[in-house]
Amino acid sequence: MTHRPLPPGRRVGDWEVTAPIGAGGWATVYAGRRAGRGEDTADDVALKILPTEGLAPRQARKVAETARREVELARRARHPRLIPLLDSFVLSEPDHPFLDGAIVLVMERAERSLRDALEDEGGPTEAEAGRIVAEICEGLAHLHATGWVHGDLKPDNVLLMADGSVRLSDFGLATELNGDRGTHGYAPPMGTFDYLPPERWKAPLGEHGVTVRPSADIWALGIIIHQVFASGASPFPGATPVSRAASTQEYAEGRAPLRMDSAVPPFWRALAADCLAPTHSARAAHTAESLLARIDARQDAPPERAGPGTPPPAGRRRLRVGAAVTAVAVCGVVAAGWSYAVRDAGSADSADPPAAGRIRVFNVEKVCQDRKDRNAECSLGLAIDPQRPYTIDNVVPTRVWHGDVLAVDCRLPHGVPIVDEAGTWSAQWYRVRLPNGSGQPTAWLPAVRTKDRPGIPGCPRPTPVR
C-alpha cells in the first residue's frame, strides 16, 4: 500500500508532523511534536498512522485489529523496556480522503533502531551488545509474564533511545496467550521470514489463525543475539529471506548443523544456540527470564574503561553522570533543602576498604577529591530508579560526596549504563540505605561512583517507579 506523504507542519489531531521516519505494509511513521510548541524537542514523538481509505472491509478490519492490539498491550503491559503509547485516536478529515478514518498511534520517539545500529561500521562492542541483549530479555520477560507474545521481534522493532537504553516496539502482531494455563495464543499467519521459528512454516491454519507461543520470541532472540555480535549477519546462510528460510528448515530437520560466526563470543554463542533449539519443546526450557538470569550470573566484571577522551560510540550515547548531577547541583537545589548522607570521619583519605555491607563513594574529579567541605558542585546524586534515565527528575533529595560510606544491600547488574567524566562506564548499580529522615529508605548508586566491589547478593528486579 502506498499513501500520500504528509508534509512537515501538517497537523494530525493535537500533533504536527516534523519529518518522515519510515513506512511498512500498513503504516507510515513520522516524527512529530505537540502542535503549537515550536522547536520544543522535549515534546518529540513518533506518529504511527494507519490509513483505512481505499481498503476492502476485511483489510480495514485487519488494520483496526492491529491498532487495537497495540493499544491493549500498551494499557496492560507497561514497562521501561516497552515503548510507551502516549495517545491514540481516529482522524475525521472528510476533505482529505486518504486521512479520513486513519488510526493514529502516538509513541515516545527513539533515536534509532537496532537495525540502524547494526548497519554502522564496526557495530557495538561485546559489552554493548551484551547489554542490548539483556535489555531485550527484560522486555520479553515482562511481556511473557503478563501474557503476551511479541510475534515480530527483529532489530527493526528494537529501538534505542537517546541514552542508549532499549525499548521493544511495534506490537501489531502481538498475541495474547489464552490457551490452557496461558501457554499459547492464535495469530494471523504473518511475520518476518528471517525471524520465524521452524515450526511456524508448517503450523496448521485454523479458524483462529496459527498457534503462537513465547518460544517463537526466543527463536527470534537467538537470531538477534547472533546478529549483534556478527555485524548483522544471520546464522542461516542465503542471499534472500526465502533462501535463509530454506536453510532454517534444513537445520530444523537435522540435515545441516547450526553454524555460527566466529565473531560470536563463547558465552553468547551458547545462549544463542539454546534460543535456536530446532523445536518448540526443546526451546521452551529457555525462557526470557532464565536467559536473563544466566546473563546476570555471568562473571561480575569491573566497569570497562574507555581510552582517555574516548566518546561513547556513535548512536549509543550512554548517559554521562556529570551532565545529570551537575545540572542538579548548579540549580541551587542543595540550598533549597536537599539533605545529605552520613559521612564516616576520615573515610575519604583511607585506603582500607569499608566494612562488610558498606560501600565508599568515589568522585573521579580530582578537585572534588581534595575538597574537605560539602561544596554543592561536588555533590553526587543517587537515583530513584536505576532503569530510567539518570536525569534530575530521577534523583533523590539526599546528596553524597567523595568518601561518604553508605550501607549497601544488593547489586543490580543491568540498569541504565552510566559513563563518568573520565570515560569509565558500567550498567551496574548498588542499592544503598539512606539515613533516617532522608524521605525514603533506599536509593541507587551507579557502580562508576565507587571503586568498591562488595560481595553482596543480586537485587530482585526493581518495580518501575511511575
Which pLDDT score is estimated for 462? 63
Residue 392 grid cell = 534530575
Which pLDDT score is estimated for 265? 94
3-class SS of residue 458: strand
User: Cα separation of 274 and 172, whole Å?
Assistant: 27
Which pLDDT score is estimated for 152? 92
Confidence of residue 102 (pLDDT cuts 50, 70, 90): confident
Residue 242 grid cell = 526465502
Report whether pLDDT(62) > 50: yes
Confidence of residue 357 (pLDDT cuts 50, 70, 90): confident
**What mean pLDDT comes out for the span 389-413?**
86
Residue 256 grid cell = 545441516
User: Cα separation of 410 and 429, whole Å?
Assistant: 9
- Fill in the amino acid letter for 152: D
**Nearest CA-CA partner of 364 in 433, 435, 426, 432:** 426
pLDDT tens digits for 2-31? 456 788 888 988 899 999 888 766 688 999
Query: What are the structural domains of the chain?
Result: 11-108 (3.30.200.20), 112-297 (1.10.510.10), 304-449 (no CATH)
End-to-end CA distance of the chain: 39
**What mean pLDDT comes out for the span 80-106?**
84
**What mean pLDDT comes out for the span 63-88?**
82
pLDDT tens digits for 316-335? 334 434 433 333 333 333 33
Which pLDDT score is estimated for 319? 41
Residues 6+ apart with CB under 8 A from 142: 77, 79, 81, 82
- Contact 29/23 with Cβ under 8 angstroms? yes
Which pLDDT score is estimated for 272? 97
- Highest mean pLDDT out of 102-111, 174-183, 204-213: 102-111
**Nearest CA-CA partner of 416 in 381, 385, 459, 395:** 385
Q: Which residue has the higher pLDDT, 331 or 106?
A: 106
User: Cα separation of 285 and 429, whole Å?
Assistant: 29
Which pLDDT score is estimated for 317? 36
Burial class (CB in 10 A: 0-12, 13-18, 19+), 315: middle
User: Cα separation of 428 and 303, whole Å?
Assistant: 8
Angle at which helix 214-229 crosses helix 266-275, to 10 degrees, equals 150
Which pLDDT score is estimated for 310? 38
- Contact 456/409 with Cβ under 8 angstroms? yes
User: Cα separation of 80 and 286, whole Å?
Assistant: 23
pTM: 0.63
- Written in H, E and C, the secondary structure of 225-260 is HHHHHCCCCCCCCCCCHHHHHHHHHHHHCCCCCCCC
Tell me the pLDDT of the chain averaged across its residues: 79
pLDDT tens digits for 416-440? 777 777 767 788 899 999 877 666 7
pLDDT tens digits for 222-277? 999 999 999 999 999 998 888 899 999 999 999 999 999 999 999 999 999 999 99
Residues 6+ apart with CB under 8 A from 135: 81, 165, 166, 414
pLDDT tens digits for 115-144? 999 987 667 888 899 999 999 999 999 999
User: Cα separation of 280 and 258, whole Å?
Assistant: 16
Which pLDDT score is estimated for 309? 38
Which of 168-177, 256-265, 443-452 is predicted least confidently? 168-177
- Contact 380/323 with Cβ under 8 angstroms? no
